[in-house]
Structure 1
């Protein structure tokens, strides 16, 4: 392992040097001696994701391949991609931090991602969303600065941070979702009251964004989710009328419309979609997993979660038919809906050990490579 570490350091040093005749020779050398590159790609692309860092240490050409769009597209096309979970948290020093979990590793454990942009470490109200093989940190504010337009991008294949095109509108405490290969930044606190009824779209193919306005949008968005090709946003319960504002947006209509009240009535927490079905974690009295049934227009109790395992407030994320309930300290409960059991009304589950710290989980997303 020490030799591999030393080799990685040497490779990083060489990549900063001008291209030499040795580099040019390597660029034209086959990926694997004696094999055509398409056969080499067939073999290398089947190496599990947890070993990709080691592949990048073999040679500059292997590193470029593993970080390339060709590699990402090939694994996606041939159903070789593996999904990991990324969590945006806030630690005890009030700084943001990011962790990653390989759900198929043994033992399963959360690992800290290094190198977050220093300018955003103290910010609050940032959005966190995944698009392709990258995740984005957007907007935010702090005691010393108002809402801002900054967008930072983490490339999971390269393990590097970069700045992306700024938001069209400065925002904090806003909703953000990915749909049709675009990011949508919606509502929130803005520098101008007129901008609170707006949303931005970001297109990574052009690295640019556009602002749109709709008077129906409300600034205080509590939760959001993508379901059946639509973005849904839900606001806070009105203390006067007990009304819960909620809107749905379909890109083809370019307008925000009111949502079915029956659906909104049971949307009392973080939501996730599994095989087209909407699940919500209701943490108002204990921790219950609820399922929306559109045909009967009703919410059904899937089961209660053990209070010994969950540490609210929790966030939800799904891989296949598995729902991951991630709580304080990144304590993680895994519910396999395909094998869901129920003992005394409590759902049978497995778990991932929590961290030694009590970091608060802001958001969780999945990213596949």
Structure 2
């Protein structure tokens, strides 16, 4: 009579157990120690062994560091060089020698595109849609995995888009409005769910295709549309996730939203570059815009983009010239914001957008 081996033994033979992280420590203790290694050394950790590489690139590592507040935030800046090619740079704000470094390997098909969406979700940087002189709007999506240092193609948008808004809300990417080949319904948006790796199409007549800026505040998405050349009126709408609809945004708040914006602890800050470089703050209680201060023209090189890490605001301008300050403790010297700076590159690259990614 034929005898069969134990099912568990057979499975263990088919799938060998993972090699321990270290020879003398349990894996949980090893993870406790390794997870405290600064992010700038993660590349070295991946070279130690295949097992360490798997750990550092895993979702377990990403989640553990985030749960225990060990994750570190770096800034990614999407730029365009003098040859009109896209390029991506990264900045470690915790480094003793702060400088922007080039991220290599952008997908060749994206290099000449304009109007692309740029967003960060989890440990990935996304490039979405876009168009070119000889290319209509596309639905292509690419992502850069910051742990693996690799580029890959992802699920395409539900509809081709160019010059559109892109934001993250509730761990999902929203691609809103813009121009595209689907001219029958330009008043639409797509929602990407990373759990299903799919996009869902929605439409709303309140969305205007021509979008200039967007921001997430108080759990809602605000998008600012083009202003009228005749009345200088700024039009904006806000997305209510509870109802899944778009409504007209607060007119008083929108009136001062005339530049790149960032939200810190529920407070909206805007960089007004119409006359010098001024940082404005929307005061909800009094419903008015307040001048925080001006930035030195010797340090900023407009047009600039904003990004925030904690209480710190980074103003990134042409050539990646960067000014940084604590919004609560910046102080004023004759109306000028006290700040520090990071030297620009040897190029005059234009900064399209800046995003933060934490690992």
TM-score by length of 1: 0.92
d(CA) in 1 for partners of 2:284, 2:240: 18
Question: What do residues 331-363 of structure 1 show as CA deviations (whole Å, max 9, x unaligned)?
Answer: 000011232111110000000110000000000
Moved over 6 A (4+): 24-27
Task: Give the number of the structure whose residues are more often helix, by fraction.
Answer: 1
Any stretches of 5+ residues in structure 2 without a counterpart? 1-13
Secondary structure of the structure 1 residue equivalent to 2:133: coil
Query: In 2, are the aligned partners of 1:30 and 1:36 still within 8 Å (CA)?
Result: yes
- Whether 1:279 and 2:279 are equivalent positions in the alignment is no
User: Residue 12 of structure 1 corresponds to which residue in structure 2?
Assistant: none
Q: How does 1:320-335 map onto structure 2 within 5 Å?
A: 320-335=310-325
Work out which of the residue numbers 236, 242, 247 in structure 1 matches 2:232. 242
**Equivalent in the alignment of 1:137:** 127
CA–CA separation in structure 2 for the residues paired with 1:304 and 1:338:
15
CA RMSD of aligned residues (A): 1.2
Supply the distance in 2 between the matched residues of 1:192 and 1:275 (Cα, whole angstroms).
38
Q: Is residue 81 from structure 1 mapped to residue 77 from structure 2 by the alignment? A: no
Is 2:345 the partner of 1:355? yes
Report deviation, 1:190.
1.2
Superposed, which structure 2 residues align to 1:22-61 within 5 Å?
A: 28-61=18-51
Give, in whole Å, the separation in 2 of the partners of 1:178 and 1:28. 35
8 Å contact 2:191–2:199 — kept in the other structure? yes
CA distance in 1, matches of 2:16, 2:94: 34
The equivalences for 1:176-187 within 5 A come to: 176-187=166-177
Aligned partner of residue 65 in structure 2, secondary structure: helix
Q: In the alignment, what sits opposite 1:108?
A: 98
Partner residue of 2:198 out of 202, 205, 208: 208
SS in structure 1 at match of 2:175: strand
Alignment of 1:305-324 (within 5 A): 305-324=295-314
Question: Does 1:125 pair with 2:115?
Answer: yes
Q: Per-residue displacement from partner, 1:293-334 (whole Å, max 9, x unpaired)?
A: 111000000000000000000000000000000000000000
TM-score (norm 2): 0.95
Partner of 2:9: none
For structure 1, the residue ranges without an aligned partner over 5 or more in a row are 1-23
- Secondary structure (helix, strand or coil) at the match of 2:185 reads helix
1:223 corresponding residue in structure 2: 213
- Which of 171, 196, 202 lines up with 2:186 in the alignment? 196
Q: Which residue of 331, 343, 350 maps to 1:341?
A: 331
CA deviation map 1:109-152 (0-9, x unaligned): 00000011001101000010001111100000001110000000
- Structure 1 pair 282–57 and aligned structure 2 pair: CA distance change class (3 A): same
Number of the residue aligned with 1:146: 136
Equivalence map 1:62-81=2 (5 Å): 62-81=52-71
Q: Does the 8 A contact of 1:169 with 1:195 survive in 2?
A: no
